[in-house]
A = this chain, B = another copy of it.
Amino acid sequence: MRNTQATQKIYDIIKDSEIALSHSEVQNMLPEGFCDRATIYRVLERLAQKGSIHKIVNVDGVINYAACEYAANTPSATHVHFNCERCQTVTCLEEIKPNFTLPKNYKIHQSNFVLSGICPNCSAN
């Protein structure tokens, strides 16, 4: 993977963000006309492939991206995500790893756990 301007900047945006970001949010955080829409999609896909970020499919079907806490690992360490319906943010709850056991022989390649409601911040205000 080449170290291009787009890759750098987009990864920085996601890494520096407290919350998970959708494609359109990333686009809005980039300087006007910095790069093409398609490039953003491709960069995000590449970063996810590489394992430096991970995808979260929100309850509305829109994909969000967050940097992976532990650099090159735990791709499938199934943690929960929270979508706040008031402040419209998606956050990784890295500590919350639900406990469950699948029957028979299911092979898990990926997972997507999302809770939606009101976050503590918004509950307080």
B residues near A114, Cβ cutoff 8 Å: 57, 111-113
Tell me whether A107 is interfacial, beta carbon within 8 Å.
yes
A72-105 vs B, Cβ < 8 Å mask (1 yes, 0 no): 0000000010100100000001011111111111
Is the CB–CB distance between A108 and B100 below 8 Å? no
Instruction: Determine how close the nearest CB of chain B comes to the CB of A93; give it in whole angstroms.
Output: 7
Tell me whether A2 is interfacial, beta carbon within 8 Å.
no
Tell me whether A116 is interfacial, beta carbon within 8 Å.
yes
Tell me whether A123 is interfacial, beta carbon within 8 Å.
yes
Is the CB–CB distance between B110 and A102 below 8 Å? no
Is the CB–CB distance between A59 and B112 below 8 Å? yes
Is the CB–CB distance between B108 and A102 below 8 Å? no
Tell me whether A47 is interfacial, beta carbon within 8 Å.
no
Tell me whether A61 is interfacial, beta carbon within 8 Å.
yes
Is the CB–CB distance between B82 and A106 below 8 Å? yes
Is the CB–CB distance between A93 and B102 below 8 Å? yes
A-B contact list, 5 entries, CB within 8 Å: A82-B102, A106-B119, A110-B116, A111-B113, A112-B114
Task: Name A's B-contacting residues (CB within 8 A).
Answer: 57-63, 80, 82, 85, 93, 95-120, 123-124
